[in-house]
C-alpha cells in the first residue's frame, strides 16, 4: 500500500514540476486577448497609432504605446569611437543586435560565469539571451559604430550592473566583502560613477 501511495505522490509531483518547467520555458510578455491594447488616454485609433516616426534611439512601450502586448521593441545604438555600453542585462527580453556600421566587440556572460566575446563587423548579428549579462565596446579609436537591436518584449527591463551595484544604497562594507577588497576601493569606484557637474 505504501508503494502505491509513493508512486502516486511521485507522479503527481512529476506532473506539477513538468507544468512549472513548461510555464517557465515559454514565459515572456503575456498573451493579449485582443488585437492590440489601447492606452487609457487614447480615445480614437487610426493608422497613426501604429506608426512611430523620428526613430533615433530606444523605442519601447513608453515611447510607442502600440507595442503594449506585442512582445517587441527596438533600439538604434550609436557607439562613438572608443565607447562602451557597460555590462547590463535585460530581465524580460532576449535581444538581437545587427551591426550596421563600424566594429563592435560583444561580450556575453552565461550563468556559469563563462565569458563569450566576438568582434562584429558591419552586417554581423549577435543574440543576447534574456537575463544574461552582456556589454558592447567599440574598440576603434577613429570610427563610430551603429547598430539596431530588436527585443522580444515591449518592456525589456534593462539593469546596468555598475549602476545597480555602485549607485544604490548597498553598504560599502557589503560591497567590499563581496569584491574581496577594501572600503576605500569601493568608495573610489562610486566616485568614478558620479555624474560630473
For 91-137, the pLDDT digits (tens) are: 888 888 999 999 999 998 988 889 899 999 999 998 888 888 999 99
Mean pLDDT of 143-160: 90
Give every CB contact of residue 134 below 8 A, 6+ residues apart in sequence: 87, 88, 89, 95, 106, 107, 108, 109, 128
Q: How confident is the model at residue 195 (pLDDT cuts 50, 70, 90)?
A: low
CA quadruple 39, 40, 45, 49: dihedral positive or negative? negative
Q: What is the pLDDT of residue 13?
A: 45
List, as residue ranges, the binding site for oxalate.
85, 90
- Whether pTM > 0.75 for this model: the answer is no
List, as residue ranges, the binding site for Mn(2+).
88, 90, 134
User: From CA 106, how far away is CA 127, in angstroms rounded?
Assistant: 10
List, as residue ranges, the binding site.
85, 88, 90, 134
Which carries the bigger pLDDT value, residue 30 or residue 132? 132
Is the pLDDT at 167 greater than 50, yes or no? yes
Amino acid at each position: 500500500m505504501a508503494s502505491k501511495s509513493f508512486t502516486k505522490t511521485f507522479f503527481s509531483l512529476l506532473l506539477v514540476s513538468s507544468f512549472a518547467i513548461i510555464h517557465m520555458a515559454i514565459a515572456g510578455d503575456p498573451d493579449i486577448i485582443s488585437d492590440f491594447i489601447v492606452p487609457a488616454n487614447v480615445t480614437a485609433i487610426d493608422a497613426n497609432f501604429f506608426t512611430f516616426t523620428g526613430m533615433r534611439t530606444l523605442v519601447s512601450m513608453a515611447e510607442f504605446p502600440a507595442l503594449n502586448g506585442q512582445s517587441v521593441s527596438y533600439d538604434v545604438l550609436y557607439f562613438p569611437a572608443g565607447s562602451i555600453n557597460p555590462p547590463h542585462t535585460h530581465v524580460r527580453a532576449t535581444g538581437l543586435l545587427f551591426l550596421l556600421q563600424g566594429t563592435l566587440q560583444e561580450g556575453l556572460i552565461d550563468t556559469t560565469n563563462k565569458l563569450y566575446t566576438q568582434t562584429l563587423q558591419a552586417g554581423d548579428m549577435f543574440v543576447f539571451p534574456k537575463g544574461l549579462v552582456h556589454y558592447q565596446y567599440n574598440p576603434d579609436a577613429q570610427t563610430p559604430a551603429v547598430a539596431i537591436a530588436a527585443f522580444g518584449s515591449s518592456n525589456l527591463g534593462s539593469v546596468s550592473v555598475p549602476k545597480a551595484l555602485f549607485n544604490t544604497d548597498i553598504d560599502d562594507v557589503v560591497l567590499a566583502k563581496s569584491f574581496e577588497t577594501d572600503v576605500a576601493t569601493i568608495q573610489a569606484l562610486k566616485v568614478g560613477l558620479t555624474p560630473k557637474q
